[in-house]
Structure 1
Amino acid sequence: MNSKFDKMRENREEQGERKQERLSETIDEVEGTREGSQDERRKEGDAEHHHGEDQR
């Protein structure tokens, strides 16, 4: 009986560790995406700004 429960506990711990790894990878991806979209927004803002100057 004990070995069965030990195996179950080990499996749960391994799954928990894998979840943590996946979560941290996902967070990194999201932060990277967020930074990228901010850069694109800045570029678009600069482009709009330049168009305004060109028309004058």
Structure 2
Amino acid sequence: MKKETNKPQPVEESEAALRAENERLRMENAYLKKLQALRGEAIFVPCSRFI
């Protein structure tokens, strides 16, 4: 049985992956906000300044 080793990715690849994930999450967030607006639901936006 072979052990998998975690090889560190080059910074450019990991940064690109993080940017792609961020863009995907932004698109999902925009979609969910539009869906909530169509359904007439209130949008709750937590503010970290008061936590």
* Shorter-chain TM-score range: 0.5 to 0.7
4+ long deviations beyond 2 Å: none
Q: Which runs of 5+ in 1 are unaligned?
A: 1-14, 50-56
Rg comparison, structure with higher value: 1
Q: Which runs of 5+ in 2 are unaligned?
A: 1-7, 42-51
Structure 2 length as normaliser, TM-score?
0.61
What's 1:30 paired with? Answer: 22
Aligned Cα root-mean-square deviation (Å) = 2.1
Higher helix share: 1
Name the % identity: 12
Between the two proteins, the alignment pairs up a number of residues equal to 34
